[in-house]
Amino acid sequence: GDSVTQMEGPVTLSEEAFLTINCTYTATGYPSLFWYVQYPGEGLQLLLKATKADDKGSNKGFEATYRKETTSFHLEKGSVQVSDSAVYFCALSLNQAGTALIFGKGTTLSVSS
Partner 1 sequence: GAGVSQSPSNKVTEKGKDVELRCDPISGHTALYWYRQSLGQGLEFLIYFQGNSAPDKSGLPSDRFSAERTGGSVSTLTIQRTQQEDSAVYLCASSLGPSIYNEQFFGPGTRLTVL
Q: Catalog residues that contact partner 1 under the rule CB under 8 A.
A: 32, 36, 42-46, 51, 89, 91, 93-106
d(CA 46, CA 11) in angstroms, rounded, equals: 20
According to DSSP, the residues that pair with 19 across neighbouring strands are 77
Q: How far is the CB of 84 from partner 1 (least distance, A)?
A: 19
Nearer to partner 1, 17 or 87 (CB): 87
Q: How far is the CB of 45 from partner 1 (least distance, A)?
A: 7
Nearer to partner 1, 80 or 88 (CB): 88
All residues at 6 or more sequence positions from 2 whose CB lies less than 8 Å from its CB, including other chains = 25, 26, 27, 28, 31, 92, 94, 102
Q: How far is the CB of 93 from partner 1 (least distance, A)?
A: 5
**Greatest Cα pair distance in the chain:** 43
Q: How far is the CB of 6 from partner 1 (least distance, A)?
A: 10
Nearer to partner 1, 16 or 60 (CB): 60
Selection from 39, 41, 47 nearest residue 90 by Cα: 47
